[in-house]
Amino acid sequence: MSRCLAGGWSGFEACESVPPFPLVEKREKKKSARFLWVHHHHATEMMDVPWRCSGILIIQRQRKGVFDKPGFCFVQRVPMSIQESVCLKSKNWFQTGGTARYYAAPATEAAVVDAIQFASTNGLKIVVLGEGANVLFSDEGVDGLVISPKNTQIVCDAEGASITAGAGVSMPYLINFALARNLLGLEEFSGIPGTVGGSVYINIHYFEFMLGQFLTAATVINLKSGTALRVDRGWFGFAYNQSTLQGHEWLLFDATFALRRGTDMEAAYARGRQHEIERHRHRRYPTARTCGSFFRNFLPDELNAIVGQKKVPFVAYYLEKAGVKGELRLGGASVSHLHANMIVTEEGATSADVVAVSRVMQIRVRELCGLTPQPECRLIGFDAYPLL
Ligand SMILES: Cc1cc2nc3c(=O)[nH]c(=O)nc-3n(C[C@H](O)[C@H](O)[C@H](O)COP(=O)(O)OP(=O)(O)OC[C@H]3O[C@@H](n4cnc5c(N)ncnc54)[C@H](O)[C@@H]3O)c2cc1C
């Protein structure tokens, strides 16, 4: 009973008589009152309300041995747009992990704000999710609300060369959209999966290019207050693998990118480059059931601490030397035979398998050069940080 009440009340309403719900469970009886519980399936079936609720609690107070007229309250209203107990396996590239207690996929700013308000009313932690190309959910899942923005509109500035894309737009789609209008620059990120939201969050990079260099403005929404702000590039504090979004206080709602308008010839060349990058990536990297590079490269100040090895920043270099590529396998997770820094899973794998493999990778690199690689992949829903 206490778990239900902790979720919040919609208010106590007196009713003339006990509503005709099947009272499937009788949870508690005290001297002064009795509490009867109506399961949410029955509650939502029988009440004409624009939201679901976890259940209805019917309360009858007892005075002088006689029970009062009953009153009832809805326990934890859930807006229709919010789903409960959603399996996360199909929502991330590793295809592992437990369930989200609540899940919302808002397409408008108002719907994002509604979801934030629901979380705040019910004291729920919020996790923002894009396409799940760079996350590992724990096998226990997320005891909170997962918000996956699905605003997929793209607005192209007809005169200039800028595009504003919703956080839910997939980057490969955006690149094709831009190239079809002779807008150049983003093709450098061809073959990188993910949404605009997740890509700005990590400031996706490929060789010398970083997404942040193209971003000029964005709309972000505060995850506590629901307030929307229009911000510029400076606000993001972009660096390698870094942006302000990583403070987990803001949700990116849309982003504006300044591109270069090219001639037909230049656009054809850019499309050729796009195909060449994609071909190259398909040859060199696994393209399913992985999060791409699991560990980030070493930062310049970390390199000074490397012992007994060349001071190479690429973590894959050390992993390859450590002999894990194509060799290390624990449960349903293994290090890809194509790339030493990429973990792949197979049917039946758990997130615990991925954690086990990545810990061994950390230990092997530490033994080799004295530094412990740190994940680029975001670990979500773990009670305690599971890596070294
Ligand atoms: C095969 C493969 C190859 C890859 N190659 C590269 C590569 O070359 N370069 C590179 O940089 N990355 C690469 N990645 C990593 C991945 O593509 C990027 O990190 C991508 O941008 C993740 O986007 P996503 O929508 O899937 O984000 P998710 O994985 O869903 O989320 C990642 C993080 O972003 C946050 N987030 C998501 N959306 C929002 C939002 N709207 N507002 C605020 N926070 C948000 C999440 O909370 C989470 O912490 C690769 C991944 C794969 C699977």
Segment 138-153 shows an average pLDDT of 97
Nearest to 36 by CA among 54, 51, 55: 55
Segment 360-372 shows an average pLDDT of 97
Ligand 1 pocket residue status of 190, Cβ below 6 Å:
no
Ligand 1 pocket residue status of 206, Cβ below 6 Å:
yes
Query: What's the CATH architecture for 154-284?
Result: 2-Layer Sandwich (3.30)
Ligand 1 pocket residue status of 128, Cβ below 6 Å:
yes
Q: How far is the CA of 302 from the centre of ligand 1 (A)?
A: 24
Alpha carbons 129 and 93: distance in angstroms, whole number: 12
The maximal CA–CA distance of the chain, rounded, in angstroms, is 90
Ligand 1 pocket residue status of 213, Cβ below 6 Å:
no
Ligand 1: residue whose CA is nearest its atom 53: 291
In the chain, what are the domain boundaries? Answer: 2-79, 82-147, 154-284, 300-380
Q: What is the pLDDT of residue 158?
A: 73
Ligand 1: residue whose CA is nearest its atom 43: 251
Segment 98-112 shows an average pLDDT of 96
Alpha carbons 302 and 2: distance in angstroms, whole number: 49
Ligand 1 pocket residue status of 132, Cβ below 6 Å:
yes
Residues 102 and 121: beta-carbon distance below 8 Å: no
Ligand 1 pocket residue status of 91, Cβ below 6 Å:
no
Alpha carbons 89 and 95: distance in angstroms, whole number: 4
Ligand 1 pocket residue status of 131, Cβ below 6 Å:
yes
Whether the predicted pLDDT of 125 surpasses 80: yes
CA dihedral 226, 228, 231, 235 (to 10 degrees): -10
Nearest to 195 by CA among 232, 149, 162: 149
Ligand 1: residue whose CA is nearest its atom 3: 292
Q: What is the CATH number of domain 300-380?
A: 3.90.78.10
Q: How far is the CA of 68 from the centre of ligand 1 (A)?
A: 57
Ligand 1 pocket residue status of 212, Cβ below 6 Å:
no
Ligand 1 pocket residue status of 277, Cβ below 6 Å:
no
Alpha carbons 325 and 46: distance in angstroms, whole number: 58
Whether the predicted pLDDT of 4 surpasses 50: no
Quick one: tokens of 96? Answer: 């592992």
Nearest to 24 by CA among 49, 51, 52, 58: 58
What number of CA atoms fall less than 13 Å from residue 247's CA on the CB side?
13
Ligand 1 pocket residue status of 141, Cβ below 6 Å:
no
What percentage of the chain exceeds 70 in pLDDT?
A: 82
Pick the range with the lowest mean pLDDT from 5-14, 76-85, 377-386.
5-14
Alpha carbons 388 and 288: distance in angstroms, whole number: 26
CA angle, 55 then 57 then 61, to 5°: 175
Under the banding of pLDDT at 50, 70 and 90, the label for residue 76 is low
Q: Alpha helices, DSSP H only, in the chain? A: 2-6, 40-46, 109-121, 171-180, 196-202, 233-236, 264-284, 300-303, 315-321, 351-369
Alpha carbons 135 and 45: distance in angstroms, whole number: 37
Interval 313-357: pLDDT, tens:
999 999 999 999 999 999 999 999 999 999 999 999 999 999 999
Residues 166 and 149: beta-carbon distance below 8 Å: yes
DSSP H/E element including 206: strand 205-206
Ligand 1 pocket residue status of 106, Cβ below 6 Å:
no
Residues 100 and 142: beta-carbon distance below 8 Å: yes
Ligand 1 pocket residue status of 294, Cβ below 6 Å:
no
> Atom of ligand 1 at shortest distance to CA of 203?
11
Quick one: tokens of 112? Answer: 């994002």
Under the banding of pLDDT at 50, 70 and 90, the label for residue 66 is confident
Q: How far is the CA of 52 from the centre of ligand 1 (A)?
A: 32
Give the chain's length. 388
Ligand 1: residue whose CA is nearest its atom 27: 198
Segment 61-75 shows an average pLDDT of 68
Residues 295 and 376: beta-carbon distance below 8 Å: yes
Ligand 1: residue whose CA is nearest its atom 47: 128
Between the ranges 20-24, 115-119, 199-203, where is the mean pLDDT highest?
199-203
Surface-to-core class of residue 63, CB atoms within 10 Å of its CB (0-12 exposed, 13-18 middle, 19+ buried): exposed
Query: CA 236 → CA 173, 212, 215, 239, 256, distances in Å?
Result: 23, 8, 10, 9, 13
CATH of 82-147, one of 3.40.718.10, 3.40.50.2000, 3.30.43.10, 3.40.50.10860: 3.30.43.10
Nearest to 252 by CA among 363, 129, 117: 129
Pick the range with the lowest mean pLDDT from 10-19, 138-147, 259-268, 360-369.
10-19
